[in-house]
Amino acid sequence: MSDLYSKTYNPDVLNCLANLSNDEVFTPPEIANKILDMLPQKLFNDKNATFLDPACKSGVFLREIAKRLLVGLEKEIPDKQKRINHIFHKQLFGIAITEMTSLLSRRSVYCSKYPNGKYSISSFDDAEGNIRFKKINHTWDGEKCQYCGASKEQYDRDETLESHAYEFIHTIKPEEVFNMKFDVIIGNPPYQLSDGGYSASAMPIYHKFIQQAKKLQPRYLSMIIPSRWFSGGRSLDSFRDEMLNDDRIANIIDYSDSTDCFPGVDISGGVCYFLWSRDYKGLCDVTHIDKQGSSSVKRALNTYPIFIRSNTAIPIIDKIALNSKLYLSARVSSQRPFGFRTFARPTGTGDIVLRWNGGKGNIECKTITTGIELIDKYKVIVSRVVFEHAGRADAQGKKRIFSILEILQPKEICTETYIVVDYFDFEVEAINLKNYLATKFVRFLVSQIASSQMINKISFSFVPIQDFSEPWTDEKLYKKYKLTKGEIEFIESMIRPMELE
């Protein structure tokens, strides 16, 4: 053992634990196996098939692949130790995301965190084996990393701390990491990194792992990621377009509630995993899972510019599209309708009333930087934060969606806690819009896009504009769009009543 320790670095495990990122969600073996089940099972009978996990955390994917290969190659390589050596040396490869996860992964796969030690089930010449970890630094371009967008203020840190500069996405040539081709790239990548913005805002990075993996042109690619890309999010618009127009995606399994996939872990908007097949071209088999159950339909992903996660909702949205040309997304304000940040507070003087999260107060008109044309209008506002924590439905599988729905009078404005859905000269029109937004019909349509905790312009992309000189009810809307009894029952089963003051 003395020779072993002279060849390896033995880190303090507590230091490693303290450096884990807050988005290092470990994959349960059950979910890892469901993802592996999507692959052609003949791969596990092929001694030449190669597998890469570019974001090893616990090593669960490589471990479960090894189990399948041990069975699948038994006839071709009868000697168990020779079979083990072949699998671990020639077929399984991983890139750990931190030093701690490299140790965990090697322990899971080789039964020893030191694969060159006597306790490893397959002997290697070094302490890494085929699960490597290379500590690298971010490449700063001003205040951001040019590869992942991480904040220099947050991650230009002491050498004893993890940099979270993940090797797989911090290179323009990912093929040079192992200098080999892979049949399957699979894993659960890190989801985001702080970008140094207000209130610890974060930049998504999981899509960068997918884009890097595609550069290697594997036969199959599968990853489990947040579902927020369905409707956008920071820096995800082009990624969404890329995914929706890629007819090589053969399967998507979508969980509305992340705790159904990762017990005890709330990921806003749920999670999904997919199978991308290099040689496939066709419709995608979409399975959506929520409190109501699951449904699977083969369909094109790019029918709409935003991915509709519910298969049952598509015929409803199709009917609306046949009878509508204008949608509320064209009327909804920007994120900061009057230029005031969330933390802005009334000064106590002036004839304009500022609505903020804690109440109302007066400010001077001269402090308003945008939305001046709305000041003297009746404005219908909703809170940007959805009612449901992390987008999760209640025990009956129903959602409310809007947390706050109110009318601002003339001379009243708001901070960015709210967005303005529309504005009017006459109060009756504002009242009719408010009641329209409270219908289950509208909130159901918003819920098809609200795949995170926040509501924005895009959230109203499927909500048609009505004549707001007249009132609207669910019954009136169901009749206008010729919804069937089954479609009405589906909407009613998904959305909670919303009482208005």
Domain ranges (residues) in the chain = 2-218, 328-494
- pLDDT confidence of residue 220: 98
Who contacts 296 (Cβ-Cβ below 8 Å, separation ≥6)?
A: 285, 286, 287, 288, 311
One-letter identity of residue 12: D
Does residue 343 or residue 468 have the better pLDDT? 468
Q: Which of 292, 290, 294, 252 is nearest to 272 (CA)?
A: 252
The answer to whether residues 321 and 303 touch, using CB atoms and an 8 Å cutoff, is no
Mean pLDDT of the chain: 89
Please report how many Cα atoms fall inside a 13 Å half-sphere around the Cα of residue 138, on the Cβ side.
Answer: 26
Who contacts 500 (Cβ-Cβ below 8 Å, separation ≥6)?
A: 405, 434, 435, 438
Is the pLDDT at 292 greater than 90, yes or no?
no
The answer to whether residues 370 and 495 touch, using CB atoms and an 8 Å cutoff, is no
In this structure, of 9-23, 195-209, 225-239, the range with the lowest mean pLDDT score is 9-23
Residue % of the chain over a pLDDT of 70: 91
pTM above 0.85, yes or no: yes
One-letter identity of residue 490: F
Interatomic CA distance for residues 434 and 428, integer angstroms: 10
- pLDDT confidence of residue 341: 92
Band (254; pLDDT cuts 50, 70, 90): very high
- pLDDT confidence of residue 201: 61
In this structure, what are the phi and psi dihedrals at residue 27, rounded to the nearest 5 degrees?
Answer: -85, 125
Who contacts 149 (Cβ-Cβ below 8 Å, separation ≥6)?
A: 193, 195, 203, 205, 235
3-state DSSP of 431-477: HHHHHHHCCHHHHHHHHCCCCCCECCHHHHCCCECCCCCCCCCHHHH
Looking at residues 322-339, what average pLDDT do you find? 93
Looking at residues 271-286, what average pLDDT do you find? 97
Helix (H, G, I), strand (E, B) or coil at 327: strand
Pairing status of strand 359-363 against strand 412-414: unpaired
- pLDDT confidence of residue 363: 93
The answer to whether residues 102 and 93 touch, using CB atoms and an 8 Å cutoff, is no
Is the pLDDT at 372 greater than 60, yes or no?
yes
Q: Is the dihedral of CA 41, 45, 46, 50 positive or negative?
A: positive
- pLDDT confidence of residue 4: 40
Helices in 160-232 by DSSP H: which ranges? 206-215
Please report how many Cα atoms fall inside a 13 Å half-sphere around the Cα of residue 422, on the Cβ side.
Answer: 25
In this structure, of 151-165, 313-327, 421-435, the range with the lowest mean pLDDT score is 151-165
One-letter identity of residue 109: V
Longest CA pairwise span in the chain (Å): 86
Q: Left if phi > 0, otherwise alpha if psi is -120 to 50, otherwise beta: which for 400?
A: alpha
Interatomic CA distance for residues 443 and 399, integer angstroms: 9
